Amino acid sequence: MTDILFLAWRYLAHYRVKTAILVTSIALIVFLPVGLNVLVGQSAEQLTARAEATPLLVGAKGSPLELVLSSLYFESDVPDDIPWAELEAIADSGLAQPIPLDARFRARAHPIVGTSLEYFDFRGLRLAEGRRMAVVGECMLGARAAADLAVGVGDAVLSSPESLFDLAGVYPLRMRVVGVFAASHTPDDRVVFVDVKTSWIIQGLGHGHQDLAAAGAAAAVLKQEGNLITANASVVQYNEITPENIDSFHFHGDLGEYPLTGVIAVPRDEKSGVLLMGRFERPEVAAQIVRPATVMTELLDTVFTVRAYVVAAIGFAGVGTLATAALVFLLSLRLREREIETIVKIGGSPMRVAAILVSEIVVVLVLGAAFAGVLAVLASRYGSEAIRLWITS
Amino acid sequence: MTRRVPILAAAIGLIGLALALACGTGEAEKPPGAEAELRDERLLVFAVAYPLQYFAERIGGDAVVVRFPIPAGIDPAQWSPSAEIVAEYQAADLVLLNGGGYAQWLKRASLPRRRLVDTSAGFPERRLRESGGVEHAHGPEGEHAHAGVAPMTWIDPELAIAQARAITDALIAVRPSAAERFESGFAALERDLRALEHSFAVAAQELGGAPLFFSHPVYPYFIRRYGLNARSLHWEPHEVPTEAMWTDFRAALVEHPARWMLWEAPPEAASEALLESLGVRSRVFDPCAQPSESGDYLERMRRNVEEFETLGVNQPAVSGVQ
């Protein structure tokens, strides 16, 4: 038996290029469906984990998927607004703790998420440097955002204008970095976190300007009638909130009408969650409530359907590859007629010749499968990290 | 904005998105502050107004540590704490708010919502709007004023009791095991506040409908509670009113012939003398907005009762309006 394996091995080693091509082809055809399963499984697990860690999500009526992608992963289009009053209503119900989300602006490629301090406890984010935001105009960065923007505690981050050519649009706000979170390996790493009030200031709903009643502001006053002072266009509005001007920042209108892109609702218990969901069933309610885990499961079902098609296609390609490999072996038999005759003449039986040829095939298959196994292990251990780095680089 | 994301495209993009995630989460951030040891034993409570601090101390006793870290001589309504002090508020188990927009800095601060207790949330219908306030207009939103709700609810003992009840309920919610302690603290405080209320009511009855002036518009709840015939000015005790203000006052005195002016703090001697010359005597009614070495809330309110009682039994002689 050893001599048969020796001869088979020597043959394969002699034609190492042909052997390498065959082994690689077989390895890939085995690895692709396995690796795809592993990576999709890992991805689904991570997505599901974040969705399952977010019990309920409230947002404007529309696409639940858009709401979940926007609120959990800070991707997708900005959903329609819901008013702050929705958050107040959830809080007043006593059924759940509401956490506001206002994710509509960016600092370069990084989402600016307006929220409250409860979000950091809810997500288990741990400070690596600095402190939590305390007043408007301060921000905290996820680890990846801090690295990409090359800023740390004490530096500043500028919100990106919505449009370069919209002179009446939202102007950038310069925000002071007061804290940087340790890497959480979640979408939070890419985020510039601000208080939701800071987000409203970026949106122009709150602002600070020179005191129009002060003596030095005469040039900015268009007219004054009794207690009403009307400013002209030269009134100085601040684009950075500092200890010197923070007292001038104020908000206009009814706070209950202020916009949010979503609200995370953390119910007291399962029953409270069901009761809260029931409140949003009424047709007059302008908002929707979703279980992110359910939305993501539906999405993943679609992913798994796509995966099944891909695996089937790979299966067909695999059959083709094996047929090609068989053809290579059959053709090689013709080329090896003299070699086989020589083995027979020196005393090798036809059975022994057949055993040598079968051994060659088995060795190639085993090597291919082993190579595929190594690739699958690497994919399961480092695949998602490698692709994540590739995507975010 | 409501464009639907094609589910198939989203599904295909999902793998890439998901792979941008990785596993592992950190522990929840522990609130900063040097109070960690205290918090193991006692509740750490921060207030935005002195009376709330006093109420919480009376109710909580040894079970709470109550802080109101305002520097001396600063008006709490206008105070704007530094980010470092706001961080101390963040570390509290409870933050007691007066509500109605009192302490404007709250609108610019990041505080944990679930630890905020609006002590006047239970009586929105009894809040009073503040008059005045400079309006201004700029930008697309047009005119707006920054005047809000009259803040000093605690001058009305009935409202003070309601606020103390809200504090008690909040403390019990956080530390149910100390409910008995908190309830007994509240009961003692309520007795004191009811006694105050009774004394003020008796004094107000003796006063009848006699006209009064208050030097500042911080007493509307007190005026309403006892049905006083009072008008409020915008005079500061440490400033002598200008000639224009005196002129306006003389005119007001014709329509509203008051014999008493109640000040937030002892007025300047010149102001007092000028008022005397118009037949108007001065008394001090401390609104107790700030901590003071002159006593705690109850002691100062009792002095207010004593001052207020003198109005009905000691009417000054009219010397005529000039």
Per domain, the residue ranges of chain A are 2-47+299-392, 56-205+252-290
Question: Touching check for B124 and chain A: CB below 8 Å?
Answer: no
pLDDT in tens, A48-104: 888 999 999 999 998 999 999 999 999 878 889 999 999 999 999 999 999 999 999
Instruction: For the domain covering B201-313, report its CATH number.
Output: 3.40.50.1980
Question: Touching check for B34 and chain A: CB below 8 Å?
Answer: no
Q: Count of A–B CB contacts within 8 Å?
A: 200
Task: Indicate the fold that domain B36-126+148-191 takes in CATH.
Answer: Rossmann fold (3.40.50)
Mean local confidence (pLDDT), B282-305? 93
Planar angle of CA B87, A84, A113, nearest 5 degrees: 55
pLDDT in tens, B138-164: 444 444 444 567 888 999 999 999 999
The reported pTM is 0.76
Helix, strand, coil percent values for chain A (each to nearest 5): 55, 20, 25
Share of chain B above pLDDT 70, in %: 79
pLDDT in tens, B223-233: 999 999 999 99
- Residue that the structure tokens 């400070």 belong to: A127
Minimal CA separation from A78 to chain B, in Å: 6
Minimal CA separation from B239 to chain A, in Å: 20
Q: At what angle do helices A384-392 and A16-52 cross, to 10 degrees?
A: 80
- What local confidence, expressed as pLDDT, does residue A95 receive? 95
Partner-chain contact A132 B110, CB within 8 Å = yes
Partner-chain contact B16 A120, CB within 8 Å = no
- What local confidence, expressed as pLDDT, does residue B41 receive? 80
- What local confidence, expressed as pLDDT, does residue A83 receive? 95
Q: What are the residue boundaries of the structural domains of chain B, listed by start?
A: 36-126+148-191, 201-313
Query: Averaging pLDDT over each range in A114-128, B21-35, B62-76, which range is the top one?
Result: A114-128
Cα distance between residue B20 and residue B37, in whole Å: 40
* A contact residues 186-225, partner B, Cβ 8 Å cutoff: 186-187, 195, 197, 207, 209, 212-213
- What local confidence, expressed as pLDDT, does residue B8 receive? 39
Question: Touching check for A297 and chain B: CB below 8 Å?
Answer: no
pLDDT in tens, B193-221: 999 999 999 999 988 889 999 998 889 99
Mean local confidence (pLDDT), B95-109? 89
- Taken in order B230, B235, B239, B242, the sign of the CA dihedral is negative
Coil, helix or strand for A56?
strand
B77: pLDDT strictly greater than 80: no
Question: What residues of B are in contact with residue A184 (Cβ under 8 Å)?
Answer: 24-26
* Higher pLDDT among residues B19 and A337, named by residue: A337
A149: pLDDT strictly greater than 50: yes
* A contact residues 154-193, partner B, Cβ 8 Å cutoff: 178, 181-182, 184-187
* B contact residues 50-109, partner A, Cβ 8 Å cutoff: 80, 82-84, 86-87, 90, 104-105, 107-109
pLDDT in tens, A218-273: 666 666 666 566 666 666 667 888 888 888 888 877 888 999 999 999 999 999 99
Strands (E), B48-129: 64-67, 94-97, 116-118
